[in-house]
Amino acid sequence: MKFIKIDKESWAKGLERLDDSFRLFGPVKQDKFHNFKELDKGELPDLSLLNTRLSPKSVVYPQSEVMFEYTLDENKEDHHILKEIDKDYSPRAVIGIRPCDAKAFLVVKPNFDAPEYKDPYWIKSYEATTFVGYACDTPCSTCFCTPAGCGPFHEEGLDLLLVDTNDHYLIKVITEKGENFLSAAGWGAEVDADAASDQIETMRHTAEAKITSRVSTDELKDKNITDLFEASFWEEAAFACINCGTCTYACPTCWCFDIQDETYGYYGIRMRNWDSCMYPLFTLHGSGHNPRDTKIQRVRQRFMHKLKYYVDKYENGIQCVGCGRCIRLCPVNIDIRRVCELMNSYGG
Amino acid sequence: MSAYIDKIKEISNRLLKESKVDMVIGFRKGTVPMMNEPCFAKTPQDVDNFVWDSNCGINLANYLTNREEKIGIIAKGCDSRNIVTHIIENKIKRDRLVIIGVPCKAMIDRHKIETMFETEIQDVIEADDKIIVKGDGFEKTLNKSDVLQENCAICIHRNPVKHDEVVGDPVEEQKDVDRYEDVRKIEAMPPEEKWRYFDDLISACIRCYACRNACPLCYCHTCFVDESRPQWVGKSQDPIDTRTFHFLRAYHCSGRCTDCGACERACPMGIKVRRFTKKLEKDCLDLFGWEAGMTLEERPPLDTYRSDDPDEFIK
Amino acid sequence: MEYMGIEPGRLHFSWISSAESTKFVDVVNKVTAAVKALGPNNNYLKTMAKVA
């Protein structure tokens, strides 16, 4: 295992050098809170954050994304034919992504990159991206990454792990992609691996100890699906929900989208937009029938999907990395930790 | 506040025991600071969960829409005005309701308090007119009056306008409040500046519709943004579509909005969405002398015609 | 609409009976003249969705 030391001066210089070969994305404070955005030339990622308001899933999977274009002009040869549009899949890097958000890409991968179905937009973007994680030593009280199978120093999904030791950064090289990123930046001051590894381990333990939210997920896989589906607690758990899309849009592991055509005169585009299982429209059939017409059904769907269907289908743990955004942002304080406990302990 | 809570529990228990209602809608303590969760009580055990403090800014009238049960509902001033609006608009029947009025001592602005601190707020405690904010290694005492929700700071109807029960003596209403300073500032801008102002205001919007869904007025079975035949508004993150959503929603609330602030409180991005609705609220007051939800006896201005209508074109 | 930055004079309201044909013509002329004088509205215009 290789470790690199970067002092904070060469940090900025390296990033500047990277500008030539990578599109850089990083957390930036916009008005009142941080979000990920493409960095302007010379702009540094602001790492003085707890975490971004929204997850960085948009770097790979934008909220609105154009897929095809078409013309309706019958004088054109290719009228009424959907054509793929050119997209920028040049190398990009997300700098300062929290380990929970990076693991989230692996959690959604089985959906976008399955053996039988491949989502070319997601896959190409994902493969073009180098994930430079920023180890988290300031978890929030709403964070529950460790019980969710992740952690503040978790490496799954990362190419590099950046650790802030106050006077310099330590970088743990995790993949070859990460290695290439380092050489493009010109960072190469290798340090003693054992010492660095020990230092990071100590910091990891300290950070993990700060995560006090306890959520039990161990029983979920053994529960009977229909028992949980028909459980009596849903009415009470769903009551406050106003069916906005905040939880799903803020969530790094929610992947649903809706496809829309927009036509402007003779020209048109087909795009996809994030959708949310919280909306009645999400399941409305062309016939007018809606199989999830009530709030309780929709709330149940969200939690059952994350905490039961996903668990059973992919045998990959829960569809949640414990980032806590939905807890912090829900307008009516519906807390996934509470619902998870209800599900995990249901029926004794 | 604890006197309020005791009284809320006492009344709720009594109503449930005497079978006057099937359920009481109120708040239980939230799992994160400055948040409480709307909940219902059907048994005395459920009633034990009820709380009341300065974090009950969600408008509970929103939970009444089209319900059939007999319901007791905890209502502060603005909630009660929205209940009146609901009754006028036939979304709930008056005789199915027992309104438990709470003379409101104003709610605190969670967005504002959050942005006052660089690190995480772990606990917020109320003591009379002080708010004590605690986090890792810090503790700060704020004056409650400095951190009120903006709509609460300018509220002139804190006491419930209709109630069957009440949990305390009426609070003194604020007088001589300038309710529309922000709207006048925008009105005075030249058109281009206005345009940019709203561009900036909604630039963070993610179209999650939390503002719409937290609003008791937004009960349409299919909202205009969700219509697909015809499709009035695009569904993407396009700024024109986002703007159209916000403006049209505000129009739909004119003559009905009570400025309860639930929309603004609900917004995950901290957008001041009341900048839209307040203009129409102001116009309704200026043009028709109307404040929504104050009376069951009068029809709202937008569904009546009067020969003294101030607009010339309609005469 | 003026509140959100549409110029004064771009939006008109009128109440015309189906029997008031001359008033209708008159209003249409006035409205088109007023709007033409303002020129095109370049703000509230979506030529194509501005998305990724």
pLDDT tens over chain A, length 348 residues: 899 999 988 999 999 999 989 999 999 998 889 999 999 998 999 998 889 999 999 999 999 999 999 999 999 999 999 999 999 999 999 999 999 999 999 999 999 999 999 999 999 999 999 999 999 998 999 999 999 999 999 999 999 999 999 889 999 999 999 999 999 999 988 999 999 999 999 999 999 999 999 899 999 999 999 999 999 999 999 999 999 999 999 999 999 999 999 999 999 999 999 999 999 999 999 999 999 999 999 999 999 999 999 999 999 899 999 999 999 999 999 999 999 999 999 986
For chain A, say whether B220 makes contact (Cβ under 8 Å).
Answer: no
Distance from CA of C50 to the nearest CA of A (A): 9
For chain C, say whether A69 makes contact (Cβ under 8 Å).
Answer: no
pLDDT (average), residues B8-22: 97
Chain C contact set for B236 (CB, 8 A): 49, 51
Residue C49 has pLDDT above 90, yes or no: no
Picking from B111, B237, B265, the nearest residue to A64 by CB comes out as B237
Claim to verify: residue B187 and residue B101 sit in the same structural domain: no
Residue A116 CB contacts under 8 Å (≥ 6 apart), including other chains: none
B-interface mutation test, from C1, C2, C3, C17, most B Cβ less than 10 A away:
C3
CA-nearest residue to C47 within chain A is A264
In whole angstroms, what is the distance from residue B35 CA to residue B53 CA?
10
> What is the DSSP pairing of strand B121-127 with strand B97-101?
unpaired
Picking from B236, B311, B314, the nearest residue to C51 by CB comes out as B236
For chain A, say whether B260 makes contact (Cβ under 8 Å).
Answer: no
Q: What pLDDT shows up at residue B163?
A: 97
Claim to verify: residue B168 and residue B230 sit in the same structural domain: no
Q: What pLDDT shows up at residue B118?
A: 87
User: Does residue B116 belong to any structural domain of this protein?
Assistant: no
- CA quadruple B185, B189, B194, B196: dihedral, nearest 10: -100
Chain A contact set for C52 (CB, 8 A): 62-66
Claim to verify: residue B226 and residue B286 sit in the same structural domain: yes
For chain A, say whether B45 makes contact (Cβ under 8 Å).
Answer: no
**Domain ranges, residue B190:** 178-299
Contact criterion met (CB < 8 Å) for A242 and B62: yes
Picking from B32, B115, B265, the nearest residue to A32 by CB comes out as B115
Claim to verify: residue B214 and residue B74 sit in the same structural domain: no
List the end-to-end C-alpha distance of chain B, in Å, as a whole number: 52
B-interface mutation test, from A48, A144, A332, most B Cβ less than 10 A away:
A332
Claim to verify: residue B101 and residue B203 sit in the same structural domain: no
Distance from CA of C11 to the nearest CA of B (A): 13
C-interface mutation test, from B313, B314, B315, most C Cβ less than 10 A away:
B313
Per-residue three-class SS string for chain A: CEEEEEEHHHHHHHHHHHCCCCEEEEEEEECCEEEEEECCCCCCCCCCCCCCCCCCHHHHCCCEEEEEEEECCCCCCCCCCCEECCCCCCCEEEEEECHHHHHHHHHHHHHHECCCCECHHHHHHHHHEEEEEECCCCCCCCCCCCCCCCCCCCCCCCCEEEEECCCEEEEEECCHHHHHHHHHHCCCCECCHHHHHHHHHHHHHHHHHCCCCCCCCCCHHHCCHHHHHCCCCHHHHHCCCCCCCHHHHHCCCCCCEEEEEEEECCEEEEEEEECCCCCHHHHCCCCCCCCCCCHHHHHHHHHHHHHHHHHHHHCCCCCCCCCCHHHHHCCCCCCHHHHHHHHHCCCC
Residue B59 has pLDDT above 90, yes or no: yes
| pLDDT band for position C42 (cuts 50, 70, 90) | confident
pLDDT (average), residues B182-205: 96
| pLDDT band for position B315 (cuts 50, 70, 90) | low
Contact criterion met (CB < 8 Å) for C51 and B186: no
Give the pLDDT confidence of B281-290 residue by residue, as tens digits. 999 999 999 9
- Please, what sign has the CA dihedral across residues A193, A195, A198, A202? negative
Q: What pLDDT shows up at residue A348?
A: 65
For chain A, say whether B288 makes contact (Cβ under 8 Å).
Answer: no
* Residue A50 neighbours by CB distance under 10 Å: 17
Chain A contact set for B234 (CB, 8 A): 260, 262
> What is the DSSP pairing of strand A64-71 with strand A33-38?
unpaired
In whole angstroms, what is the distance from residue A306 CA to residue A112 CA?
16
- Per domain, the residue ranges of chain A are 2-60+87-209, 220-259+273-344
For chain A, say whether B115 makes contact (Cβ under 8 Å).
Answer: yes
Instruction: Name the DSSP letter for residue C6.
Output: P
Sheet holding B138-143, edge to edge: B121-127, B130-135, B138-143
Instruction: Name the DSSP letter for residue B96.
Output: G
A-interface mutation test, from B237, B240, B265, most A Cβ less than 10 A away:
B237
Contact criterion met (CB < 8 Å) for B191 and C2: yes
Instruction: Name the DSSP letter for residue B50.
Output: B
The type of residue at C51 is: V
In whole angstroms, what is the distance from residue B71 CA to residue B73 CA?
6
Claim to verify: residue B165 and residue B228 sit in the same structural domain: no
The type of residue at B153 is: A
Helical segments of chain B, H only: 2-17, 44-47, 77-88, 110-115, 150-153, 181-187, 191-201, 210-214, 239-252, 262-266, 274-288
Average pLDDT over chain B, rounded to an integer: 95
Contact criterion met (CB < 8 Å) for C3 and B196: no
Q: What pLDDT shows up at residue B2?
A: 86
Q: What pLDDT shows up at residue B9?
A: 98
Q: In this structure, are residues A79 and A71 in contact, taking their beta carbons and an 8 Å threshold?
A: yes
Claim to verify: residue B88 and residue B222 sit in the same structural domain: no
